[in-house]
Amino acid sequence: MLETVFSSNQLLENLETLQIKFCGILKTVFGQSKEPEGSVQFASASKLKHLSICHCPVLETVFSSPLLPKELETVKIEFCDKLQSVFGSEESATSELLKVSKMYLSELPELRTIGVKLPNCVPPVWEVINCPKLLMPENSKPTNASEEITEVGDH
């Protein structure tokens, strides 16, 4: 059963685009694993620019690894009923992703947090559809009326 796509110390140095669809038992995309000596190893995709995930009903978090994709530009996640956090490691809560310019989140009823700061989303392009529990980080909210978050309720 595939519950994690990338784990351990996998280095995905050349991965720029990742698209995952219809994975019914996937729980995390970039995870961690315990090595025999008890240390924790993490997957890394240092050049990942575009991430798209849809119809993964038991996905809980995308990145449980503290090794964040610093080149990430676009994120599209939709129809993942159990997703609670995009970036879910404790270390990521204080991290920043400087290059994210587009965030599309749709039909994520359990999503509570993005899990990172997005300070340079200028203008922040957010499309949030039916994510009723999502709390947007203060530093990721729009700063004026021309930069607004689109929130659309149930269809």
Are the C-beta atoms of residues 145 and 153 closer than 8 Å to each other? Answer: no
Whole-angstrom Cα distance, residue 146 to residue 60? 33
Please give the helix or strand (H or E) that residue 42 lies within, else none.
strand 40-42
Query: pLDDT tens digit string along 22-71?
Result: 999 888 887 765 444 443 445 567 888 999 999 999 999 888 877 788 89
153 C-beta neighbours (distance < 10 Å), count: 7
The one-letter amino acid code at 59 reads L
Are the C-beta atoms of residues 104 and 77 closer than 8 Å to each other? Answer: yes
Query: pLDDT tens digit string along 86-100?
Result: 987 656 667 888 898
